[in-house]
Chains A and B, each alone.
Chain A
Amino acid sequence: DAGVIQSPRHEVTEMGQEVTLRCKPISGHDYLFWYRQTMMRGLELLIYFNNNVPIDDSGMPEDRFSAKMPNASFSTLKIQPSEPRDSAVYFCASSPEASGEQYFGPGTRLTVT
């Protein structure tokens, strides 16, 4: 298996623009997680899905953030409008069950200017 795939790997955008991050989980994994990592706050869980259904979005910072999982092999995280404080590395991870054994994608480094 190719592992968790994320795109794009790098994204530079201007404040106010819409940003869409994409993730393809490992086939057969029922859980998908979106994390954000910054130097100041570390790795934070934004939202997670079980069988394509959002289970907990309490980590989503505000209404500018939204996530979808239309099928078992694809998820998006959208930021609209983007702000400089959204600059971070965004990781997608998947796991076969509700456990801490999660497999991370390579991440998307987002820079908002």
Chain B
Amino acid sequence: QKEVEQNSGPLSVPEGAIASLNCTYSDRGSQSFFWYRQYSGKSPELIMFIYSNGDKEDGRFTAQLNKASQYVSLLIRDSQPSDSATYLCAGLSYNTDKLIFGTGTRLQVFP
């Protein structure tokens, strides 16, 4: 079992819809979580991070964390074709200072 698990997708949503990306983790030592976006052929770039249980909103993006269920999610409202990319979930373990990535979910937003 990988420490951070994501559905590889693709997740296809129409333009303007809400895209919901999910991630589960097994290491309870992971205290903070990060969402990176990676366009095809490009490098990962950080879009959101969350440390506390609950929701964190930034523009069209909302990150959600439930430590009891070991579950992290990213909601993208009003999805645009430019949001089409692979979204990587990562957990940072305070025991090791290492960022552990999931294998990513590919999102496709169609016009």
A contact set with B: CB distance below 8 Å: 33, 41-45, 48, 55-56, 91, 98-107
Q: Given that A55-B97, A99-B92, A100-B90 are contacting pairs, would A42 and B44 also be in contact in the complex, using a CB cutoff of 8 Å?
A: no
A48 to B42, CA, bound (A): 21
* Given A99-B92, A101-B46, A102-B99, 15 other A-B residues pairs in contact with their CB atoms under 8 A: A42-B103, A43-B88, A45-B99, A48-B97, A55-B97, A56-B97, A91-B44, A100-B32, A100-B34, A100-B46, A100-B49, A100-B92, A101-B34, A104-B45, A106-B43
A43 pairs with B32, CB closer than 8 A: no
Interface set, chain B 23-79, CB cutoff 8 A to A: 32-34, 42-46, 49
Q: How far is the CB of A49 from chain B (nearest CB, A)?
A: 12
A105 pairs with B43, CB closer than 8 A: yes
A99 to B96, CA, bound (A): 11
Task: Please report whether the interface of chain A is mostly helix, strand, loop or mixed according to DSSP.
Answer: strand
Task: Please report whether the interface of chain B is mostly helix, strand, loop or mixed according to DSSP.
Answer: strand
Q: How far is the CB of A78 from chain B (nearest CB, A)?
A: 21
B contact set with A: CB distance below 8 Å: 32-34, 42-46, 49, 88, 90-92, 96-104
A33 neighbours in B (Cβ, 8 Å):
99
B44 pairs with A104, CB closer than 8 A: yes
A43 pairs with B101, CB closer than 8 A: yes
Q: How far is the CB of B107 from chain A (nearest CB, A)?
A: 16
Residue ID in chain B nearest A33 by CB atoms: B99
Contact of A101 among B49, B88, B97 (CB under 8 A): B49
